Amino acid sequence: MITGCDTGFGHHLARRLDNCGFTVYAGVLKESGQGATSLLLEQSERLHVIKLDVTEDNDVTRAVSHVKDICRRGELWAIVNNAGFFIPGDVELCTLSQYKRIAEVNLYGVIRITKAFLPFIRESRGRIINMSSIRGLYSRPGVIAYSLTKFGIEALSDALRVEMKKFGVKVSIIEPGVFDGCTAISSPEQIERLKAEVEEMWENATEEVRFTYGREYFNSMIKKQSEKGTGPWISPDPVLDAILDALLNQKPKARYLIGGAGWPIDFRTAIARVYRYLPESLGDALLAKFYKGSGLQKHSIFQSGMHYHPRFEDATSNKYEYCLMTKSELSLTYQAMKSSESEEKN
């Protein structure tokens, strides 16, 4: 059983396993979509395309029934929890709705599918394979909502691996590096979705946040993702090979960290390999340097040491404008405000 087979790793994996002779249950979000249609038309009868929205209990229940109708007891060998999506954005910029929406798919979807199919896997003493990311090993600036879900998958998988040991079930985590070139993450359809996500952030941001970051900063999130889509195509084979090893090896690894990026060295994966061993101060400095274009370091205001600060025009109306202050001016302003509050109390 593989989730998220419309595009990307899930789609490639469904094809690979079918070609290897496996019976494959390919969960898709859009049953009439291009990905589902191509699997039905181009693959063998061993591959079963199932409508499966991992956020919908009814879809999951129907998928379980579908597998029961075809699969004899003890025959379902593995679950590959692959379904997921991406939202960019800083901690301050992502809306609560976006945090909840991405977690519902990337994390709670994994939990929902795992709980539903665990009886099959316990009976076969099979495998559970969860798709994480290097974003689950260190939290880089600008992708917090996505990283939160991948850190959650890491924690879930670590606990599940120990819990399932008594049943003979093996649990593995797949941690790909940069493989944007072989997924749909930078496709025109996904870029349009990301534009809507960024627009939601802008519309829900306060005036102070808009002033502080600026529209250009919001737009840069879309630009960066669009530029990734213009890079070279990268073969998904290293990731598929890792999943096959997790499926078939008598002693699969707990984690498969796979470098990508299409370069001799995937620097993001290199950071992931060493990050957990670094002191926080050194790790923070490394991320700040490597991802210097992801924050406000290039913003002229922050380079000059100036900060936006609300200045009340009228204490009775709560109307305010924004002015630029240096750190020392900001400190003196707060001291004056505290002094004024203290006098009013007295």
b vs e for 138-148, b when ≥16 Cβ sit within 10 Å of the residue's Cβ?
Answer: bbbbbbbbbbb
Candidates 146, 291, 320, 334; catalytic one = 146
- Give the bridge partners for 322, in sequence order: 310
Computed on alpha carbons and rounded to an integer, the radius of gyration of the chain in Å comes to 24
Q: How many Cα atoms within 13 Å fall on the side-chain side of residue 65? A: 8
DSSP string, 30-74: -TTSHHHHHHHHHS-TTEEEEE--TT-HHHHHHHHHHHHHHPPTT
Classify residue 73 as exposed, middle or buried by CB count within 10 Å of its CB (0-12, 13-18, 19+): exposed
β 306-314/255-258 pair status: unpaired
Check if 277 is active-site: no
Residue 67's alpha-carbon distances to 70, 168, 345, in angstroms, are 5, 22, 70
Nearest alpha-carbon partner for 1 in 118, 173, 147, 87: 118
Active site residues: 146
